[in-house]
Amino acid sequence: MFFSIDADGDVPIYEQIVRQVKLAVADGILVGGQMVPSVRQLAGELAINSNTIARAYQELQSDRVLESLRGRGMIVRRDAIKRCTKARNSLVADGVRRALADALSGGMTAEELRELFEAELERQSAMAEQSKLASGNGAS
């Protein structure tokens, strides 16, 4: 229910979990004090080994996003949103940086880049809006 995993992709599964959890915290979907699904439950939902989930949670614990309550579960730290928004900014900045480096190194024009960026931004903004409306309809 929470996350979408691409097991065939080149990015490790545990890293996808880490990224999506951080983005969810930055977006406000996951708030401080809230419990996250247990490793076995999430592993069952995603058809993934528990160890992979545990590894992701451990990394999130090292990054001070989650907090472990032994024997009970893991919760989102109250001050996690600060770090997560910061991490999100660094993440997209790095992505934009790399894409721009490739584009300019390949002789792409700044104007072509702006056009591509605006087109993609409009497309994904529309998609995000539509998905938001769909989830809103689910409650009616």
> What residues make contact with a copy of itself under the rule CB under 8 A?
19-20, 22-23, 26-28, 84-85, 88-89, 91-93, 95-108, 110, 113-114, 116-117, 120-121, 124-125, 128
Residue with tokens 């409009």: 122
Which residue, 35 or 127, has its beta carbon nearer to a copy of itself? 127
> 110-137 vs 80-105: helix axis angle to the nearest 10?
140
Which of DNA, a copy of itself, none sits in contact with 31, Cβ below 5 to 8 A by type? none
- 108 dihedral zone (left: phi>0; alpha: psi -120 to 50; beta): beta
For the chain, what is the radius of gyration of the CA atoms?
A: 18
Which residue, 35 or 128, has its beta carbon nearer to a copy of itself? 128
**Which of 26, 48, 65, 80 is close enough to bind DNA by CB under 7 A?**
48
**Which of 54, 91, 99, 108 is close enough to bind DNA by CB under 7 A?**
54
- If you write DSSP's letter for every residue of 62-112 in order, what string do you get? HTTSEEEETTTEEEE-TTHHHHHHHHHHHHHHHHHHHHHHHHHHTT--HHH
Contact positions toward DNA, by CB under 7 A? 7, 12-15, 36, 38-41, 48-52, 54-55, 57-58, 61, 68, 70-74
